[in-house]
Amino acid sequence: MSGGVDSSVAAALLVERGYDVIGMMMRLWSEDCGTGGSNRCCTPDQLLDARRIADQLGIPFYVIDTQDVFRRTIVQFFIDRYAAGDTPNPCLECNRHIRFEWLLNHALAMDADFLATGHYARTQYGAGGRVRLLKGLDDAKDQSYVLSVLSQDKLRHALFPVGDYTKPDVRRMAEKLALPVAQKHDSQDLCFLADGDYRRFLAEHAPEAIRPGPILTRDGRQLGEHTGLPHYTIGQRKGLGISYHEALYVLTTDPAKNALIVGTQDELGHRGLIAGRVNWIAGDTPLEPFRADVKIRYKARPAAARVSPLPDGRVRVTFDERLNAITPGQGAVFYDGDECLGGGIITRVDDDAR
Amino acid sequence: MNTQLVYLDHSASTPLDPRVLDAMLPYFSEHYGNSLAVHSFGRQAERAVEDARDTVARVMNCHRHEIVFTSGGTESDNLALRGPVQYALTQGQPITLITTPVEHKAVAVTARQLRDTAGAALRVVPVDEHGRVSADDLRAALQNLPSGGLALVSLIHSNNEIGTRNPIPELAAIAHEYGAIVHTDAVQAPGHGPLDVSALDVDLLSLSSHKFYGPKGAGVLVVRNGIDFLTSHSGAKHEDYRRGGTHNVPGIVGTAAALELAMNTWPETAPRLAALRDRLVEGIMDRVPDTRLTGHPADRLPGHASFAFAHLDGNTLLMLLDQSGIAASSGSACKVGDPRPSPVLEAIGLGPEWTRGGLRLTLGHSTTGADISAVLDVLPKKIRAARQMPPSISV
Ligand SMILES: Cc1ncc(COP(=O)(O)O)c(C=O)c1O
């Protein structure tokens, strides 16, 4: 329970369905812990909100100190990957290592059968006891992307009570239950940033990840200087600070040279990608290439593609059409309609696509 | 989940005694006058307050004028430190505060604030392995006081976290030798033994009614006659200008009723609690490895048992106990989202493997032998489980 609308309603729904519910909050590491800042994951406000809601629902509530492990795994990972030139997605890692590992173990140790969260996603039990992960009913809110890292073992213990509802439904339920959070804003930013500004965060916590360097064309001509690779996103046009006779876009980075590679619009975009650390939700690696819709960012639209498992465990994804924003470090998540089949972490673009 | 609840957190708060409630009830909606008002309603309220003052003074063996009604232990502790300090400031006197590392936050934080805001010199007297102040250490802390200044010694009477009682009369006499005045936080004391202001020989003493089956948000500060005091809670002439604010008449009536009951009944209730407590302590020491009793083994509050368990997070244990219907505490009820080791356990010399693993079980009137048996049955299992689990935070 975060003190927000979704996890509060999730808890309320479970109570209503007759589960014996225990509320838990993770106190995560964050920059301004203990200073009364506005950060959402550990402020006493959020804590008191969650505790009040738990009491209103008649369930116990405990705060688990997750600061050390969160800092060591998630925050350090975030810093390291940026330093290596990637654009990491810490939410994927948090679900992999913190929520559905650390917190789930905690819950199981307390004799719980399930760990429920406020994610917009659904599970469905299929033949042979296999659990399928489905998108949340509210397409605009669907969070199956960040749950694509879960295995059968984890999903068997997972409940996503709000996944069957739309966000407006969830707000209405919160209002009906007179939960004091019905009107709270959605939280968007990374939970451990004091102000939502990851650039400032990196400048303070990992200055070595932000070094000025050259802006180069594909063929190595220097056009200017960049202020640090984490300041740019692939596909970006504005704010490069160079004048050129054509519009220029960020094509990619070259971390070894600390260079930002730019080019014209027709150089932008790739037909494919390679992803590693692949998780298959069903458990088995598919033997044959298959067609799927693939999301390359949490908020990206699914794009039609062919997914080919490689012998080394990675996958090659070949899109029907070029995509402009394939970004190493982000997840590539595979869907068959509403069903999330799994995903991997993008390691590089791939233009050898066949 | 177990539905048979066992409440072993009486040091955090106690239920209101039904007799106390009966005494308070008329003062909510029948006799609601303001005690300062001229009319009959006012007189009625004033009489209730002054009767209560008589009762409190009588059972505490002090003068009625020495009783100041407050909003509880925290306010009493604040006033006890701030009142003399504010007076000394108006006189331009140098100020020295002398306290211990095992005080409640109401004293500890206030003393630090006065160091920072009033220029008070702050001296901290060490405590022994049981959390007691020794005569020699106090003497050492009283050396070289600036002349013509205020020296205020604040010593906890009975420790909320580890139950230890300080030898207050002996320590107060030493402080007085050096011209210091003495405050004692006696919030945990009533109902557990005698509490006689004259015998204690202190100048200021704090009580909190909800710790002795009285109402929350009510308490007492005793200020002995002759102590220079300029209140930090200024307002109208209430409490002889020592604590402004309309009297909480039901709270004051309840305070007097509860304190009188506590003083009259402790000779019977304390030995019963001590016997149950001893059974609890022995049972836990027998059943749980790597355990220490914290606080003094004998001179401690009768209903108070406290432990440190090595390699265990106390807050995780509290969570598991709550799941089994046992309400306990790690020592002080005021640790919102704070997973740090206990300063009290550090002050009595325990190493880092112990200082997060505090548990306090405090017994009260409703505690039965069956409660103790239930705890002895559940606790060893929960400790084993907690030792396997990552730490959590109490709120
Ligand atoms: C020793 C001690 N002093 C002061 C207090 C504060 O009292 P109150 O809760 O009335 O503010 C407490 C109780 O928490 C206490 O145990």
Question: Which tens digit of pLDDT belongs to each residue from B149-178?
Answer: 999 999 999 999 999 999 999 999 999 999
Q: Which two tokens stand for residue A302?
A: 């699914």
Phi, psi at residue A204, to the nearest 5°?
Answer: -85, -40
The residue with tokens 């306010």 is: B75
> Is the confidence at residue A316, as pLDDT, over 80?
yes
Are B295 and B129 within 8 A, CB to CB? no
Domain containing residue A315: CATH number: 2.40.30.10
Rounded mean pLDDT, B28-47: 94
Of the candidates A219, A250, A267, which is a domain's last residue? A267
What is the structure's pLDDT at B171? 98
CA distance A195 to chain B (A): 21
State whether A159 and A294 are in the same domain: no
Query: In this predicted structure, which of A190-199, B2-11, B21-30, B230-239 has the lowest mean pLDDT?
Result: A190-199
The answer to whether the CB atoms of A62 and B339 lie below 8 A apart is no
> Is the confidence at residue B335, as pLDDT, over 50?
no
A231 domain-assigned: yes
State whether A147 and A121 are in the same domain: yes
The answer to whether the CB atoms of B385 and A109 lie below 8 A apart is yes
What band does B141 get if pLDDT is binned at 50, 70 and 90? very high
Level-2 CATH architecture, domain B6-14+266-390: Alpha-Beta Complex (3.90)
Cα–Cα nearest to A347, from A315, A320, A319? A315
State whether A142 and A80 are in the same domain: yes
What is the structure's pLDDT at A188? 61
> Is the confidence at residue B2, as pLDDT, over 60?
no
Q: Which two tokens stand for residue B66?
A: 């020495």
Angle between helices B369-387 and B249-287 (to 10 degrees): 60
Q: How far is the CA of B208 from the centre of ligand 1 (A)?
A: 7
What is the structure's pLDDT at A67? 83
The residue with tokens 């355990």 is: B291
A196 domain-assigned: no
What is the structure's pLDDT at B316? 87
Cα–Cα nearest to A195, from A3, A5, A31, A42? A31
The full DSSP string for A147-158 is: HTT--HHHHTTE
Collapse the DSSP code of A273 into the 3-class scheme (helix H, G, I; strand E, B; otherwise coil) and give the result: strand
In whole angstroms, what is the distance from residue A31 CA to residue B334 CA? 24
Rounded mean pLDDT, B215-221: 98
Rounded mean pLDDT, B25-30: 97
Are A136 and A121 within 8 A, CB to CB? yes
What is the structure's pLDDT at A189? 66
Rounded mean pLDDT, B46-75: 97
In whole angstroms, what is the distance from residue B309 CA to residue B345 CA? 11
Collapse the DSSP code of A230 into the 3-class scheme (helix H, G, I; strand E, B; otherwise coil) and give the result: helix
State whether A28 and A40 are in the same domain: yes
Cα–Cα nearest to B85, from B125, B124, B117? B117
For residue A207, the 8-state DSSP code is G
A263 domain-assigned: yes
As for how many domains chain A has, the answer is: 3
The answer to whether the CB atoms of B392 and A47 lie below 8 A apart is no
Cα–Cα nearest to B191, from B17, B27, B390? B17
State whether A17 and A121 are in the same domain: yes
Determine what percent of chain A is predicted with pLDDT higher than 90.
Answer: 64
Domain containing residue A248: CATH number: 2.30.30.280
Rounded mean pLDDT, B185-196: 97
The residue with tokens 């405090």 is: B362
The answer to whether the CB atoms of B339 and A20 lie below 8 A apart is no
What band does B337 get if pLDDT is binned at 50, 70 and 90? very low
0.90 exceeded by pTM: no
State whether A170 and A256 are in the same domain: no
Determine what percent of chain B is predicted with pLDDT higher than 70.
Answer: 95
B156, B187, B362, best to mutate for ligand 1 pocket (most atoms within 8 Å of CB):
B187
In whole angstroms, what is the distance from residue A40 CA to residue A330 CA? 23
What is the structure's pLDDT at B29? 96
Cα–Cα nearest to B312, from B385, B375, B394, B393? B385
What burial class does residue B237 get, using C-beta atoms within 10 Å of its C-beta: 0-12 exposed, 13-18 middle, 19+ buried?
exposed
Residues with Cβ within 8 Å of residue A205, at least 6 apart in sequence: A75, A79
What is the structure's pLDDT at B333? 46
What is the H or E stretch that residue A78 is in? helix A76-83
B11, B100, B102, B104, best to mutate for ligand 1 pocket (most atoms within 8 Å of CB):
B104
State whether A122 and A261 are in the same domain: no
Rounded mean pLDDT, A259-281: 94
Are B205 and B197 within 8 A, CB to CB? yes
Segment A224-256, tens digit of pLDDT: 999 999 999 888 988 888 888 889 999 999 989
State whether A232 and A316 are in the same domain: no
In angstroms, the first-to-last Cα distance of chain B is 21
A99-106: list long-range contacts, CB under 8 Å, 24+ apart: A99/A26, A100/A149, A100/A150, A100/A154, A100/A158, A102/A26, A102/A66, A102/A69, A102/B390, A103/A24, A103/A26, A103/A64, A103/A66, A104/A154, A104/A157, A105/B390, A106/A24, A106/A64, A106/B389, A106/B390, A106/B392
Domain containing residue A92: CATH number: 3.40.50.620
What is the structure's pLDDT at A288? 96
Rounded mean pLDDT, A11-26: 96
> Is the confidence at residue A61, as pLDDT, over 80?
yes
Phi, psi at residue B70, to the nearest 5°?
Answer: -130, -175
> Is the confidence at residue B17, as pLDDT, over 90?
yes
> Is the confidence at residue A65, as pLDDT, over 90?
no
* Residues 316 through 355 of chain B touching chain A, CB cutoff 8 Å: 319-320, 322-323, 336-337, 339
How many other CB atoms sit within 10 Å of the CB of residue B173? 13
The gap from C-alpha B338 to its chain's centroid, in whole angstroms, comes to 21
Segment A88-134, tens digit of pLDDT: 999 999 999 999 999 999 899 888 999 999 999 999 998 888 999 99
Q: Report the relative pairing of strands B150-156 and B181-185 from DSSP bridges.
A: parallel
3-state secondary structure chain B: CCCCCEECECCCCCCCCHHHHHHHCHHHHCCCCCCCCCCHHHHHHHHHHHHHHHHHHHHHCCCHHHEEEECCHHHHHHHHHHHHHHHHHHCCCCEEEEECCCCCHHHHHHHHHHHHHHCCEEEECCCCCCCCCCHHHHHHHCCCCCCCCEEEEEEECECCCCCEECCHHHHHHHHHHCCCEEEEECCCCCCCCCCCHHHHCCCEEEEEHHHHCCCCCCEEEEECCCCCCCCCCCCCCHHHHCCCCCCCHHHHHHHHHHHHHHHHHHHHHHHHHHHHHHHHHHHHHHHCCCEEECCCCCCECCCEEEEEECCCCHHHHHHHHHHCCEECECCCCCCCCCCCCCHHHHHCCCCCCCCCCEEEEECCCCCCHHHHHHHHHHHHHHHHHHHCCCCEECC
- Alpha-helical (H) ranges within B294-359 are 314-323, 343-347
What is the structure's pLDDT at A31? 65
> Is the confidence at residue B91, as pLDDT, over 50?
yes
In whole angstroms, what is the distance from residue B191 CA to residue B273 CA? 11
In angstroms, the first-to-last Cα distance of chain A is 46
What is the structure's pLDDT at A271? 93
Domain boundaries, chain B: 6-14+266-390, 18-261
State whether A18 and A121 are in the same domain: yes
State whether A246 and A298 are in the same domain: no
A188 domain-assigned: no
Level-2 CATH architecture, domain B18-261: 3-Layer(aba) Sandwich (3.40)
Q: How far is the CA of B73 from the centre of ligand 1 (A)?
A: 5
Query: In this predicted structure, which of B174-178, B205-209, B384-388 has the lowest mean pLDDT?
Result: B384-388
> Is the confidence at residue A85, as pLDDT, over 60?
yes
Rounded mean pLDDT, B175-193: 98
In whole angstroms, what is the distance from residue A53 CA to residue A61 CA? 9
A194 domain-assigned: no
State whether A116 and A29 are in the same domain: yes
Query: In this predicted structure, which of A243-247, B108-112, B232-236 has the lowest mean pLDDT?
Result: A243-247
What is the structure's pLDDT at A113? 96
Q: Which residues pair with B205 in a beta bridge?
A: B184, B222
Taking CB atoms and a 6 Å cutoff, what residues make up the pocket around ligand 1?
A: B 72-74, 77, 104, 106, 156, 160, 185, 187-188, 208, 219, 333
Of the candidates A239, A267, A295, which is a domain's last residue? A267
Average pLDDT score, chain B: 94
Query: In this predicted structure, which of A128-142, A185-199, A282-296 has the lowest mean pLDDT?
Result: A185-199
Rounded mean pLDDT, B206-222: 98
What band does A43 get if pLDDT is binned at 50, 70 and 90? low
State whether A217 and A233 are in the same domain: yes
A248 domain-assigned: yes
CA distance B323 to chain A (A): 8
* Catalytic status, residue B62: no
Domain region containing A218: 211-267
Average pLDDT score, chain A: 90
In whole angstroms, what is the distance from residue A77 CA to residue A205 CA? 12
The answer to whether the CB atoms of A44 and B389 lie below 8 A apart is no
- Mutant choice from A22, A49, A65, A69 vs B, greatest count of B C-beta within 10 A: A65
What band does B336 get if pLDDT is binned at 50, 70 and 90? very low
What burial class does residue A199 get, using C-beta atoms within 10 Å of its C-beta: 0-12 exposed, 13-18 middle, 19+ buried?
middle
A187 domain-assigned: no
In whole angstroms, what is the distance from residue B332 CA to residue B159 CA? 10
Torsion of CA A237, A238, A244, A246, to 10 degrees: 40
Query: In this predicted structure, which of A175-179, A335-339, A349-353, B109-113 has the lowest mean pLDDT?
Result: A349-353
What is the structure's pLDDT at A37? 46
Rounded mean pLDDT, A37-53: 70
A201 domain-assigned: no
Q: Which two tokens stand for residue A110?
A: 């307390």
